[in-house]
Amino acid sequence: MAVRVMNSCIGRLLLRGDECGICEIRLVKAGESEGECVDSAWLDEAQEQICAYFAGERRSFDFPLSVQGTRFEQEVWQQLRQIPYGETRTYAQIAAQIGRPRAARAVGAACGRNPLLIAVPCHRVVGGAGRLTGFAAGLEAKRTLLALEGHKAVGDKLIRQDK
């Protein structure tokens, strides 16, 4: 398993990859041992693309992913990858798009188990009426990521700003 830690505007990110692609991108927790960094061409590519995203030079990612989850989680995560840069969807909209209109809470749970922060953009999913709701990396990180994509949070409500 290849591992890399990189700095970002939302904190230190841990990237982990296997022989098939990137399987984890998450914030390093306070006090967590970062382990030994092992090189991989996929990690190099992922880090380069993530840095370009944070610099405002990239809007999507094309490095290979290797993600494990239930069939439902995979459906949700695939739908999240279809949300364009700078746009948001609600949990209910995602549930309807995967053909399960009553599964908004389950969609939220799948977002919370997303192992690929940023690459599978669960930060683009908001509550009804544009409310900022849970995010595994914390609401401040969600605000920062959405701000990079042209949104502003006023209280717990999201507003799209013209770029």
Residues annotated as catalytic are 122
Give me the sheet containing 2-6, strands edge to edge.
2-6, 13-18, 21-27
Residues 14/26, Cβ–Cβ less than 8 Å:
yes
The span from the CA of 146 to the CA of 56, in Å, is: 12
Q: Which H or E run includes 72?
A: helix 71-80
Q: Which H or E run includes 21?
A: strand 21-27
Amino acid, res. 100:
R
Helices 104-112 + 71-80 axis angle, to 10: 80
